[in-house]
């Protein structure tokens, strides 16, 4: 006769077995459905990429993102026995076939026959019907519209140097950059072309309304330190929207974001939470590579100029002005307004023209790089 202890153990083992059976190996799931699987061990995130979507998951978080939208999961992905698994019910939300379901040979053969028939029909249709033009998004199409965002403005002076305000320097350089880009045939928009205050969130909204192909937010850096320290810290830095990798990047983002909280902007915040980063990164995945591509061109164009790179010249953080821009985007800290040498150069007509010409050169090089890539794809 079975004891109560035996029954309890049986129930426990049955539950464990049911749990194991209810999970799906994500790498096998991707392979079976013709998708790519990528694991990022440091962030403990992974993505499944097919022709129509990029699914993003994080171990321990019961959420995924699909087509830029957050989807709640039955349970959080986990690492079991060296494999990354998700609940089978969650797998079924995104894919019809799961590794746990094996189909008989006859079914596979039928599927193969159906696929051949569908392929034949598709070829016939293609031969008789003209191809429909693709509705391409920013980052995949030719680069035509550039959005320049001179930071701060109006009641928001931005960082202050000994003899200047950030808002004035970036506006002057922004106007010169617009002229340079228009000479090269670009369609150029500015979030502000005069000394007015524009909310951070509205800047990205304007860029989206204009259907921009590239968003460049212009700023001047600054530190609060002794005069001797201010003389030492100088240089330019190009930032992309990504989780910050240093306390310095976090601090710079907080300073640039502070304007939103200072002037009571709706939903304003100085930093993004881990879950906000998770949701945001999946939506911006399609623009990230192009943002890095433009950053590389910026480094090439700025090298040899009066203002040198600060550290490696590239960083990433949660700049709110970039969050809503649905296009490749960077925030460019032109130089340190708190540094006497950088400030003096950024104030001169010669310095501003040189900086504008270098940024324009980077934009043109980026456009050529995107065009070359499109040609390899036959577009």
pLDDT at 327: 92
Same domain for 171 and 79, yes or no, is: no
Answer yes or no: is 115 within a domain: no
Same domain for 84 and 171, yes or no, is: no
Mean pLDDT lowest among 106-115, 127-136, 163-172: 106-115
pLDDT at 321: 73
Per-residue pLDDT tens over the stretch 241-260: 866 556 665 566 565 555 54
The range of the structural domain enclosing residue 59 comes to: 4-94
Determine how many CB atoms are found less than 10 A away from the CB of residue 66.
16
Cα(14)–Cα(12) distance, integer angstroms: 5
Cα(187)–Cα(170) distance, integer angstroms: 20
Answer yes or no: is 117 within a domain: no
Same domain for 77 and 163, yes or no, is: no
Mean pLDDT of the 125-139 span: 51
Give the CATH number, domain containing residue 337: 3.40.630.40
Q: Which residue reads 């640039």 in tokens? A: 256
Per-residue pLDDT tens over the stretch 84-115: 899 988 888 888 766 654 333 333 333 344 44
Task: Say how many domains are in the chain.
Answer: 2
**Which range among 30-44, 88-102, 337-351 has the greatest average pLDDT?**
337-351
Mean pLDDT of the 147-172 span: 96
Same domain for 85 and 168, yes or no, is: no
Task: State whether residue 335 is helix, strand or coil.
Answer: strand
pLDDT confidence tier of residue 200, bands split at 50, 70 and 90: confident
Same domain for 150 and 64, yes or no, is: no
Pairing of β 36-40 and β 45-49: antiparallel
Cα(139)–Cα(279) distance, integer angstroms: 20
Give the CATH number, domain containing residue 38: 3.30.457.10
């Amino acid at each position: 006769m079975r004891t109560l202890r035996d029954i309890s153990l049986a129930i426990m083992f049955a539950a464990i077995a049911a749990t194991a059976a209810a999970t799906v190996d994500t790498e096998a799931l991707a392979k079976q459905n013709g998708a790519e699987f990528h694991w990022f061990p440091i962030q403990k995130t992974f993505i499944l990429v097919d022709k129509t979507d990029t699914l993003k998951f994080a171990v321990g978080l019961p959420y995924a993102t699909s087509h830029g939208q957050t989807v709640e999961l039955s349970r959080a992905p986990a690492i079991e026995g060296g494999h990354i698994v998700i609940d089978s019910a969650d797998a079924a939300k995104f894919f019809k076939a799961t590794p746990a379901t094996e189909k008989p040979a006859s079914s596979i053969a039928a599927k193969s026959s159906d696929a051949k028939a569908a392929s034949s029909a598709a070829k016939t249709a293609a031969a008789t019907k003209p191809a429909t033009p693709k509705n391409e998004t920013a980052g995949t199409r030719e680069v035509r519209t550039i959005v320049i965002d001179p930071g701060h403005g109006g009641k928001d002076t931005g960082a202050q140097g000994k003899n200047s305000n950030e808002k004035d320097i970036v506006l002057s350089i922004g106007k010169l950059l617009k002229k340079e880009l228009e000479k090269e045939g670009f369609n150029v928009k500015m979030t502000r072309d005069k000394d007015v205050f524009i909310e951070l969130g509205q800047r990205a909204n304007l860029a989206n309304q204009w259907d921009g192909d590239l968003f460049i937010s212009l700023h001047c850096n600054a530190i609060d330190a002794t005069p001797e320290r201010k003389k030492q810290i100088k240089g330019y830095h190009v930032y992309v929207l990504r989780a910050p990798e240093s306390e310095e990047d976090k601090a710079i983002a907080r300073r640039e974001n502070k304007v939103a909280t200072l002037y009571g902007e709706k939903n304003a915040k100085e930093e993004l939470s881990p879950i906000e980063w998770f949701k945001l990164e999946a939506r911006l995945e399609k623009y990230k590579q192009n943002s890095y591509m433009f950053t590389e061109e910026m480094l090439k164009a700025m090298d040899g100029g009066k203002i040198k790179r600060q550290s490696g010249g590239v960083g990433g953080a949660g700049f709110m002005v970039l969050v809503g821009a649905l296009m490749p985007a960077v925030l460019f800290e032109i130089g340190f307004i708190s540094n006497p040498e950088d400030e003096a150069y950024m104030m001169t007509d010669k310095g501003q023209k040189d900086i504008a010409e270098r940024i324009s050169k980077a934009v043109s090089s980026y456009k050529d790089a995107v065009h070359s890539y499109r040609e390899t794809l036959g577009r």
